[in-house]
Each structure stands twice: as structure tokens, then as C-alpha cells.
Chains A and B, each alone.
Chain A
Amino acid sequence: MVERVALFVTCLADTLYPDVGKATVTVLERLGIEVVFPGEQTCCGQMHGNSGYPGEAVALARRFVDVFDGFDAIVTPSGSCAAQVREHFGDLLDGNDRGVPARTWELSQFLTGVLAREDVGSTFEGTVAYHPTCHSLRLLRVGDAPLRLLQAVPGVELVELPDAEECCGFGGTFAVKNADVSAAMLDEKIAAITASGAECVCACDSSCLMHIGGGLRRRGIAVRPVHLAEILAS
């Protein structure tokens, strides 16, 4: 039984979405898990790796392994950062990853897989459309773990998101290098969110929510982007 985890908050949540980090701490502590935050952590290097800067990605992967090596479990509220660690570190580090990737968990996978919990003692009021982010779905393969967690929250009314598995168009630097295509993809995602009638759109990645949320705000649509951790912490 895991009793103590290291939180990898991600550079994005640390800097722009501290509430997502706080919510992750709240959920884990509510379940009796001791949370440690190694202050030396910075970034997993996904942005560099995916943008064509493997040298920087390798250096950041090495740093990540050094910082988190001493922990039995590392938990992060991001599907894409967890996927970077679990799916790409092995190659980037030629296998010299000291087993850290296998001990790194995206929050919903940790809760449902490692702790075998679905009801984490939350309550929430509202209709929620769940957007499965690409890397959590197709790289990390979280499956229906986030949905099972949401279904177990009293007061959450899940509504169907049309074409839920389509990318929102973020894709890191893709959103600025191919801004027009990215925006066209976002338009479709926002149309689907609007059609769902949900009050909140929920996902396991702050980055995709930043993209969707920024698009919703620009278009004056009142749907609230909310991270899974925030619903579970409420």
C-alpha cells in the first residue's frame, strides 16, 4: 500500500494553475496519503521533446529522474506530462531511467489503479462534459478511469460530449506554429462542448483546458473549464 507520494505538479500548473496542484494535494491527503513536494522539480521536458529539441528534453528528463528517484510513487495531474515520463523517458535516457517512469502516475490512474478507489469523498453540483485529452487517451491509455471517478461524485451529472475523442487543437507549439488550423480544430471542439449543454468541461490536462478555456472566454461562452482534480477536491 502506497502511503507517501511525491507530487509532480508540472511547470504549467505550478505557474498558471496552482489551484490544480492544491486540489491534487487535497484529494490525496483526504485519502490518507502523505504528499511531498520536491522543490527541485521544474519541467518534464515534453515541450522541448515534442518541438524538436531533444537535447533539452534529455537534460530535463535526467533532472526529473534525479529529483524523483527516491520516491516509490510520483503523482501528477497531467496526462501528457505523465505520458512524457512513462512513454518517452526510456528512449530519451537509453533506458537509464532508474525505474522512475514506471513509478510515475497520472492522478486518475493512481487513484483507480494503484489505490483502487473511485469514490474519493467529493461532492460537486453541475453538468459536466468530459474531454479525454489525446495523450491521456492514446499515449497513456487511461481508458475510462477519469469517467469512473466522475461518475462516483454525487452531484456530477455527466453529459455526452459529441466526438469527444477529437483533439482540441492545442498540441503545444502547434497552437502557435499552425495557429489557423489549431483555431479551426478548437472551433469544432467548442461547438461540441456548446452542443453538449454542459456547465463545465472537464479534462486531465491543464494545457488542453488552457486552450479550450482561452477559446471559450474569447468567444464569450460561459462554460467553465475545470480540471478533474478540482472536481474531485470539492
Chain B
Amino acid sequence: MNAPRSDAAAARDARPESFPRAAPAALANQQVRANIRHATTTIRRKRAGVVAEVPDWELLRIAGSAIKDEALASLDSVLVELEESVRAAGGAVHWARDAAEANEIVVGLIRAEGVDEVVKVKSLATDEIRLNEALEGAGIRPIETDLAELIVQLAGERPSHLLVPAIHKNRREIRDLFSDRFGLPGLTDEPVELAEAARLHLREAFLRSRVAISGANFAAADTGTICVIESEGNGRMCTTLPEVLITVMGIEKAIPRFRDLEVFLQLLPRSSTGERMNPYTSLWTGVRDGDGPQRFHLVLLDAGRTRVLADPAGRPALRCIRCSACINVCPVYRQTGGHAYHSPYAGPIGAILAPQLAGETGAVASLPFASSLCGACYDVCPVLIDIPSILVHERGKVVAHERPGVEGRSLKLLGKAFATRAGYERAQRLGRSLQRPVARDGWITHFPPGPLGAWGRSRDLPAFPAQTFREWWESRDQRT
């Protein structure tokens, strides 16, 4: 039943491209764009409706960001407290510096149980570290149990949205996939039938598998309680049926106190799925005799998070509770979908988180520029992450690393020119004389290659008028 190696899988593993290079392929796929437009429009409308119902929403946002900031400011002690609480409740805690270490720990734990198959709860942290590939490499078969993650896994693709991983696929495509992979030629694209097909496939896996892997939405340091929020109940199956449960969580998911959940359980479902309450909230604290998994392992993942923590201007990105509200309102994501980001963290939050986790190098260094800074993301963020400001901060870090191109050199020159009145006015006169040969009827319609050419692919540019405002002002002054 494992997905055969397909072209999609090959593409998925290819060297990631920068966002502007990846975007044209995404833009050319009208089907995916239509699916994404439809899905994000629906979710954002639902979100706006249920958020408007909460009279103290703004106070909740402030509380959520304050709790997260408190946890981040004292993360060293919060994590040690979490470790002690989990151990006291009968769980084991493992610390992983990076993806490779985390994968090694998880593979080791599964091997120790002597199994070659695990069921998985939807988890971004395990997407981030590419745990499934590490498991497959070790001869262990991971079975995604979140319906959308299952669809993506069966198709040999990567998720394209934090919360709705298969947002790029429609019912017909899912029917074809299930029909092929499950051997159900008569399957229709009715949601009820599709869900039933997935249910039969997954129920067998739940009953068969002895080990489950999950992520975590929150982990309360004072009690050692892990919290997973989901809609389908398949996560609940994973956290209760198998004998062994392994939870991989980024260290920024720790919150100081169990009672802090009160705030986040209000913020998260309304922001993410636009629901007043999510259908399943699973909470577990270590292990309990005869009830649920008998062995529990918590893997604490750094993978760049302490680097983010060290930068006060970028740090608020670690408040993120992965609701995806920012993604659903983002006009850039709306055009491209998630795959162009080449990171499990797409959209505005991905554009600030992915480069910070990776140290602003490689293809993800293009992500902070993949925004028009329209600010819609900040308006909806339940933990008040000023995403536009962090985007700008990250741009500065990338620019400082890179050799300046045409744009960089032009901005440096303009910066120098604008430092004095004489330089500024000289630049105005220079611009006017340079454009004279190409301007027609007050417009420029043909452009040289480079940044101007990029503008000119879809837009004309007004020509410099005969007189600047300041020239007019001076002439007027002389008249009066």
C-alpha cells in the first residue's frame, strides 16, 4: 500500500528552489489555485464570524501572546520543569539538537519495540524533520492517519497547508487516488464514501499498530500534560489504542501551566478551522496502568529554535500556535499555495519561521521577500505576531549576508542620493533624461531586462512628467 516512487515524489525531493522560481509553476496550475481560493475563502469567512462573537477576543490575543512570551523568556527552566513532570508521571524525555538526532531517537525507540509499522497523528514537527523518510529508510512504515495527511502520503506529495495539508486536491482527485491505492474501482467522489474508504483502511491500522507517533499543540510544564487538538478523532485513536506513544515536539510548544490552556483552547479553534470548539482535544499525562499506552516518550526538538530565541526581533515567531489564520488571509499564499515555499511552514508564518530555523541560508532565504507586506496576517494572528515587521527584519538579515544584485546596488545608490537635497534633485533630473528616448504619450511600455523588465511584464510605467512637484512649487513661489 506504500505509495510507489512517482514523479511527484521525485519532484518533492529535488533541490528546493527560491520562491520566485517556484511560483510560476504554482501559478500555472489553475486547478490548484481554484481549490485554494475556494478553501481559504471559506475558512477565513468562518473564522471572521466566530471571532466576532467573542467580546474579549483582543484580550485573549494579548493573554495568549503574554503567556507564550513568558514561556519563551524562561524556556530553560520551563523545559526542565516539563521534563521532571513527564518523568514523574511515568514518561521518558529525550532531547534532540536537530532533525537527524530526533529521527535517530525515534527510530531507536521503534526498533526497541521490535515493530516495523507505526501510526501517526498529524504533526508539523515530524514533517519538518522529515521523519517519515527516516522511518522508511530504517524499514519502518509510517501510516499517516489524519485524512488529509493520508491523502498527501498516498499521493507521494508534501502537505501544502499547515492545517489542511491536501488543500490543493479536490474530491475527484482524491477519489482517483483512493480508488487506485485501496483497490476500490466503484468508489464515487461523495465525501461520505471517501471518508468511509479511509476509515476502513485506517481502522485496520489502528488495531494492528503497537506504536504511535504524535506531535503536540501544547505541553504544560507544571503537570507534564501533552495536548493534541484535532477534528477527526484519528489522533485520539493513535494516542489511546497503541501500547507505545512517542511525541515529537518543538521546544517552543511548552507552556508554563496547565491552566494556560484555557486561553489557547479558545484562540486556536476559532482561528484555525473557524470553529467555536474543535471536535477532539486529547490530553495525557505520562502513563496509567491498564489505560492507554503503557510507554510514553517525549522527544524535545530544538532544530534551530534556540537560534530564533536568541534574536529578540525574530523571537515572537516562536509564539505561533500553528492555527494557519495568517495563511488563509495571505494574498500571496492565495495565488501560489504552499508548495512554492518548499517548507512545511508556508504562508506568512512560514516566510518568517522557515528562514529563521535554517539560519537565513538556501532557498528559504527568499521567503521573507515573498510578501507585499499587506499586513492581513498580523490582523488575524491570535498571538499578535507582528509578521510584517519580522519579515522586514529577516529581509535585513538576508541582505546583510548576500552579495548585492541590481536591486541592492540601486537601493544603495538611491540611499546616497536621497541623503542630500542636491543628490535627490540630481537623481530626479537623471531619471527624466534617461527615460526620454523610451517614453511615449506619458508612458513607458518597453523595458530593459532586470527589475524594470520584471515590472514591465504585466504593467506599464508612467513617464516622468516635464516638471516635478518641487519645480512647480518654485515657479509658483516666484509668481506670487
| Residue A217 interfacial (CB < 8 Å) | yes
**In contact, A18 and B469 (Cβ under 8 angstroms):** yes
Interface size on B, residues (CB 8 A): 62
Contact of A21 among B368, B397, B418, B469 (CB under 8 A): B469
Contact of A181 among B332, B379, B421, B424 (CB under 8 A): B332
Contact A59/B419 with A18-B469, A176-B454, A181-B336 known, Cβ cut-off 8 Å: yes
Q: Point out the residues of chain A lying under 8 angstroms from B172, CB to CB.
A: none
Residue on A nearest B455 in the bound complex, by CB? A176
What's the nearest-Cβ distance from chain A to residue B448, in Å? 12
Secondary structure of the A contact surface, majority rule: helix
Contact A37/B470 with A18-B465, A42-B421, A217-B460 known, Cβ cut-off 8 Å: yes
What's the nearest-Cβ distance from chain B to residue A3, in Å? 18
B176-195 interface code vs A (CB 8 A; 1 in, 0 out): 00000000000000000000
Residue on B nearest A135 in the bound complex, by CB? B375
**In contact, B454 and A214 (Cβ under 8 angstroms):** no
Contact of A174 among B336, B371, B468 (CB under 8 A): B371
Interface size class of A (residues with CB under 8 A): 35 or more
Q: Point out the residues of chain A lying under 8 angstroms from B424, CB to CB.
A: 11, 42-43
**In contact, B331 and A185 (Cβ under 8 angstroms):** yes
| Residue B49 interfacial (CB < 8 Å) | no
B467-478 interface code vs A (CB 8 A; 1 in, 0 out): 111111110000
**In contact, A182 and B372 (Cβ under 8 angstroms):** yes
Contact A211/B469 with A134-B374, A178-B23, A185-B335 known, Cβ cut-off 8 Å: no
Q: Point out the residues of chain B lying under 8 angstroms from A33, CB to CB.
A: none
Contact of B469 among A13, A178, A181, A215 (CB under 8 A): A13
Contact of A52 among B24, B392, B428, B455 (CB under 8 A): B392
| Residue B411 interfacial (CB < 8 Å) | yes
**In contact, A15 and B398 (Cβ under 8 angstroms):** no
Q: Point out the residues of chain B lying under 8 angstroms from A39, CB to CB.
A: 421, 470, 473-474
Contact of B374 among A60, A138, A179, A184 (CB under 8 A): A138
**In contact, B392 and A15 (Cβ under 8 angstroms):** no
Q: List 12 A-B contacts (CB under 8 A).
A: A9-B470, A45-B418, A48-B415, A52-B398, A60-B415, A134-B375, A137-B375, A138-B376, A169-B331, A179-B454, A215-B459, A218-B460
